[in-house]
């Protein structure tokens, strides 16, 4: 077995060595990006270089990028600070979107894990209040890529703004704000092999957004607080490497498909979710009837293989995934679902190690059932 086998990149991607070097160099250099002396100017140069790198990753203008403490913060600022009295979010959003506004309406999704466009149109038509619609670009659990350009077209007809949580999509598939037509887009460095604790809110027009955090003039006066220069420096490197490596990342679909085929060869009853729609190339959400998610996560961990049961934002709890519930999946099957997510360092040997460990678990469970 390859040791360790890390297959939980959607929770956090293993940091690239180049990113770690950039973070360490910025920490060693020091300096506050708001200071006017040489050290401060050097720190400011790092921040502005990163702003250009992040903008280039998503086809945006550098002036529309502000750095935040996380993708969660970016999502909250987008949904709470645009002055729109009405918020509509898809039912499969990350908790940082679902929980950003208590009064948010939820747009249903189909069994394929994609947002129901007809339902969105009806919801917008039923209320004339100015609205903002939030639909993620790609789902963090199933990997299903959402019909975002269609969402934008529907929203535009009703005068609604559109925000997209692109935290899982950024650096994994091509993202172009101009092509998508969205007004606001959220990113997170650690999902693309950058450091934890730094995100970005990308805006078509910064005048659309107000402050979430008050008390200073940093980040175009839209996000108070001293910039995390080491984290932002690492974000720059991660963004550039992700943009340059999109073709290599796309090739992970072959490893993912081999993993799914290997599981089905052991147990044809295995269910892969959203496998009939475009997905992120690295993401597999799969359920094995009769084999609880907790058993799989713990059993594989003991075998040196790291996967998850879903989002990494529930303090280690394993619950029925809300995304699958929104898709209409029965609770019994949903509780048997795990997520396997590949990344830049994943190899065929890692997939083989996963399949060997998972096959042992499955055979053991089948043997116990037979007894």
Tokens coding 158? 């009703």
Q: Which of 81, 114, 313, 336 is catalytic?
A: 313
Phi, psi of 237 (to 5 degrees): -65, -45
**Cβ(365)–Cβ(14) under 8 Å?**
no
Rounded CA-CA distance 118/322 in Å is 22
* Polymer length of the chain: 371
C-alpha to C-alpha distances, 69 to 25, 51, 217, 314, 343, nearest whole angstrom: 20, 14, 16, 19, 23
Residue (of 71, 97, 145, 140) closest to 339 by Cα position? 140
Report DSSP letters for 224-238, one per residue. Answer: -S---HHHHHHHHHH
Residue (of 191, 164, 210, 226) closest to 32 by Cα position? 226
Total Cβ atoms within 10 A of residue 45: 13
Q: Is 313 a catalytic residue?
A: yes
Residue (of 18, 17, 45) closest to 31 by Cα position? 45
Long-range contacts at 25-31 (CB < 8 A, ≥ 24 apart)? 25/233, 26/229, 26/230, 26/232, 26/233, 26/234, 27/230, 31/229
Q: Which residues are identified as catalytic? A: 313
């Amino acid at each position: 077995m390859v040791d360790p086998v890390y297959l939980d990149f959607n929770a956090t991607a293993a940091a690239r060595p180049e990113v770690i070097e950039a973070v360490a160099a910025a920490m060693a250099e020091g300096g506050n990006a708001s200071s006017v002396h040489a050290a401060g100017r050097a720190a400011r140069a790092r921040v502005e270089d990163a702003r250009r790198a992040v903008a280039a990753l998503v086809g945006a203008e550098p002036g529309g990028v502000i750095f935040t403490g996380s993708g969660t913060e970016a999502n909250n600022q987008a949904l709470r600070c645009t002055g729109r009295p009405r918020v509509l979010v898809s039912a499969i959003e990350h908790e940082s979107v679902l929980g950003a506004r208590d009064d948010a309406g939820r747009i249903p999704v189909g069994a394929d894990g994609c947002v129901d466009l007809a339902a969105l149109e009806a919801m917008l038509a039923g209320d004339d209040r100015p609205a903002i619609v939030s639909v993620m670009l790609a789902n963090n659990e199933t990997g299903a890529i959402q019909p975002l350009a269609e969402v934008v077209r529907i929203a535009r007809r009703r005068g609604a703004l559109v925000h997209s949580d692109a935290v899982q999509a950024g650096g994994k598939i091509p993202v172009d704000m101009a092509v998508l037509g969205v007004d606001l887009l959220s990113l997170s460095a650690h999902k693309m092999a950058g450091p934890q604790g730094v995100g970005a809110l990308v805006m078509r027009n910064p005048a659309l957004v107000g402050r979430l955090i008050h008390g200073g003039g940093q980040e175009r006066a839209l996000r108070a607080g001293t910039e995390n220069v080491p984290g932002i420096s690492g974000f720059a490197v991660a963004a550039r490497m992700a943009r340059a490596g999109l073709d290599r990342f796309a090739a992970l679909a072959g490893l993912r498909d081999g993993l799914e085929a290997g599981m089905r060869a052991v147990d044809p009853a295995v269910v892969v979710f959203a496998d009939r729609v475009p997905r992120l190339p690295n993401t597999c959400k799969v359920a094995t009837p009769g084999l609880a998610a907790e058993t799989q996560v713990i059993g594989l961990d003991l075998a040196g293989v790291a996967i998850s049961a879903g989002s990494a934002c529930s303090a280690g709890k394993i619950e029925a995934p809300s995304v699958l519930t929104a898709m209409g999946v029965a609770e019994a099957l949903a509780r048997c679902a795990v997520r396997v997510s590949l990344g830049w360092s994943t190899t065929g040997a890692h997939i083989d190690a996963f399949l060997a460990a998972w096959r042992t678990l499955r055979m053991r469970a089948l043997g116990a059932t037979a007894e």
